[in-house]
Chain A
Amino acid sequence: MLRIENLHAEIDGKPILRGLNLTIGKGEVHAIMGPNGSGKSTLSYLIAGRPGYTVTEGSITWNGKDLLALEPEERAGEGVFLAFQYPVEIPGVNNVYMLRAAVNGIRKYRGEAEISAVDFLNLVKTRTREIGLKESLLNRPVNQGFSGGEKKRNEVFQMSILEPSLAILDETDSGLDIDALRIVADGVNRLRSPDRAFMVVTHYQRLLDYIVPDHVHVLADGRIVKSGPRELALELEAKGYDWLLEDAA
């Protein structure tokens, strides 16, 4: 279970989150919506452990573990996965080599043996087919020269290989046309399971037609200002965010 309590965080002395509370249980899919600049990406980065943010108050725990005390790779070892809004290009670093280093890094953290080359290759082949990733992308440098859609699909592909127990999708829908969106959503839905929690961050409710959430939260001004069932997303689509912001003020 992900438990975020009274989270205050700032970047370069500028407060971004101001007392955020959120709980996501196993097997649940939560959507985080909100206007630009409300702190959605900051929340994703804080859970994954991106350097540069200062937490001034509050806590983030995952299955009882204090995530804030862990390095990013240790969080990955604990099952946290972030699908980046802007996947980073890493010249020269082969996509598959990177993934194998990741799988073994996580296994080592858990005290498990390294994956054999044959098993890994089979896993890669299976997932490539499932996600519909072009095979030619596998041996290219990480995200380099990928189209926007290919980058997002690569993120979901990586997620399917690493099989996280907490998956955070940060604006995975942005920049995707409807066909690409459907394929990415299918990939995500295939991974839905009673053991896996999802936090889906998005600006548009469109994505939620394909990845149907159990709960919807509205993040504004660094806090959750409203939570509700799936229908809340439709209401937001129709009415915008302003009415909520006025309520919150």
Chain B
Amino acid sequence: MATPQTEVSELLNRKYDAGFYTDIEQDQAPPGLSEDIIRLISRKKDEPEWMLQWRLRAFERWQKMAEPEWAHVHYPPIDYQALCYYSAPKSRTDAPKSLDEVDPKLLETYEKLGIPLEEQKMLAGVAVDVVFDSVSVHTTFKEKLAAAGVIFCSFSEAVREHPDLVRKYLGSVVPQGDNYFAALNSAVFSDGSFVYIPPNTRCPMELSTYFRINAMNTGQFERTLVIADAGSYVSYLEGCTAPQRDENQLHAAVVELVALDDAEIKYSTVQNWYPGDEEGRGGIYNFVTKRGDCRGRNSKISWTQVETGSAITWKYPSCVLKGENSVGEFYSVAVTHHRQQADTGTKMIHLGRNTRSTIISKGISAGRGQNAYRGLVRIAKSAENARNYTQCDSLLMGSECGAHTFPYVEVRNASAKVEHEASTSKISEDQLFYLRSRGIGNEDAVNLIVNGFCKEVFKELPMEFAVEAQKLLNITLEGAVG
């Protein structure tokens, strides 16, 4: 009889199926990072002078900073001068005005990814901004959004068309010098998405961005800025894939969210960057800074992430709860198998009165994967009546993996109530046998348990993403009964 472990590992050993690459002529800058490269990026994108100066200031800061070492991850030193900091599909030089003008090979790529780019799929109600390597290729549904007053465009376009908004909010949540990778991104970011929801507007559809790294030796540094003005609501989805390559690729993105009075932002991510092979060759280094600022009263920011990809993940989607009664949420499933490493979690910084936060983190380690949760809950002196609840569970599958939990709880206000619960366990043979003795096959039994373990997070995802997420975890969706 096969042991549960071997079957569990077979289940997890499925091949990466987004691992094709697209053969498109690239317009690429020479490798290396210097002021000249930054000027080149800025020129390529036709940026105003203020944007260039902002980048150069960030570059100056970055040069004085050191790469962080505190995370529970190990990787060989990155040669930042060997990376390429700008890469655009060449056909982009004459920006496509309609779908017909987009390189058919690109469209083919998105089709393989299952992105609903064509008209009929758009009717599914998803507006998509696609970032291919570093530039935004096409944004769907612009007209309908424009009618509602919603701005959803590539970052480059926002710099040109909405400079006042960009200047007001860019770097206001994640300052240039926040950390090493954020500083790097601030200097060299090439594109990304920009969203502005006007006051008292509920965004008429879910907004979605797909990121894909295609070119070799290319770093991807996209920048996302979402502003929800007073009384507005938006749900934003982000998906990521990358082709299979033997060398490591760097992804250092920055995401800034701003929620004003009574506004709500729901930000969901399904991250499936190429994780490297069984031996740990290749794969994306995913070093991402994501932070939401609950600036207004009664505002709410909710992060949901399903992280199955990347060789190394280093990210802590956070909430700064400044506004009175503001709410921060973090729901996360992180899976590491083979030799993947993840150091991920969140920070909830309570500054305002009656602020509340919830953290639900589920880590699954298999193979030789290392999975660390790192979270900070800080209740500042000013945060009267703040509440936090944290639940942080780890599931182990196999004897060579690791699960680590590093929660920081800092409370400076006596009216606070902070609860942290964590557990680590393995899929038990007793549970598997119980299900199998009821007639459920081993694979289905594992799926049932894993799915049950992640349920609290999946239920936070928009439906389309929940399906994709479960598929990514190789779980068959349970039939709804009753």
Contact = CB atoms under 8 A, between A and B. Distances in A.
A102 B1 contact: no
Given A52-B429, A71-B442, A120-B481, A98 B436 contact: no
B80 interface: no
Contacts of B433: 48-51, 72, 88
Contacts of A141: 452
A100 B481 contact: yes
A90 B482 contact: no
A186 interface: no
A117 B438 contact: no
Contacts of A76: 436-439
Given A109-B439, A117-B481, 13 more contacts: A71-B436, A73-B440, A81-B438, A90-B449, A91-B452, A92-B455, A93-B449, A98-B435, A98-B438, A101-B440, A103-B439, A141-B452, A158-B438
B428 to A, nearest CB: 8
Contacts of A91: 452-453
A112 to B, nearest CB: 12
A106 interface: yes
B448 A72 contact: no
Contacts of B436: 49, 71-73, 76
6 contacts: A92-B454, A92-B455, A98-B448, A99-B438, A102-B438, A117-B481
A100 B479 contact: yes
Contacts of B437: 48-50, 72-73, 75-76, 80-82
B431 interface: yes
A232 interface: no
A92 B453 contact: yes
Interface string B467-482: 0000000000011111
Among B437, B441, B479, residue most surrounded by chain A Cβ atoms (within 10 Å)? B437
Contacts of B449: 90, 92-93
A176 interface: no
A6 interface: no
Nearest to B434: A88
B98 interface: no
User: Which 9 residue pairs are nearest across A and B when measured between Cβ atoms?
Assistant: A92-B452, A76-B439, A72-B436, A106-B439, A93-B452, A102-B438, A88-B434, A105-B439, A97-B478
Contacts of B103: none
B451 A92 contact: yes
B439 A90 contact: no
B433 to A, nearest CB: 5
Contacts of B430: 88
A96 interface: yes
Contacts of A109: 439
Given A72-B437, A76-B437, A97 B481 contact: yes
A101 B478 contact: yes
B3 interface: yes
Nearest to A92: B452
A86 to B, nearest CB: 9
A121 B453 contact: no
Interface residues of B, number: 31
B157 interface: no
Contact of B1 (A71, A101, A105): A71
B444 interface: yes
A92 B436 CA distance: 17
Contacts of B448: 90, 93, 97-98, 101
A77 interface: yes
B431 A90 contact: yes
Contacts of B480: 117
A106 B437 CA distance: 10
Nearest to B447: A101
Contact of B481 (A93, A96, A142): A96
A27 interface: no
A146 to B, nearest CB: 14
A81 B1 CA distance: 19
Contacts of B431: 88, 90
Interface string B185-206: 0000000000000000000000
A77 B440 CA distance: 9
Contacts of A210: none
Contacts of A82: 437
A214 B452 CA distance: 42
Contacts of A52: 429
Contacts of B3: 51
A86 B117 CA distance: 53
Given A90-B452, A92-B455, A102 B439 contact: yes
Nearest to B476: A101
A227 interface: no
Among B1, B431, B439, B448, residue most surrounded by chain A Cβ atoms (within 10 Å)? B439
A215 B171 CA distance: 81
Interface in A53-67: none
Contacts of A94: 452, 478
Among A90, A98, A106, A117, residue most surrounded by chain B Cβ atoms (within 10 Å)? A90
Contacts of A77: 439
A87 interface: yes
Contacts of B438: 73, 76, 81, 98-99, 102, 105, 158, 162
Nearest to A121: B482
A243 B436 CA distance: 39
Contacts of B429: 51-52
A77 B441 CA distance: 10
A84 interface: yes
A175 to B, nearest CB: 18
A106 B479 CA distance: 16
A88 B444 CA distance: 17
Nearest to A68: B1
A162 B440 CA distance: 12
A121 B480 CA distance: 11
A23 to B, nearest CB: 22
A158 B445 CA distance: 16
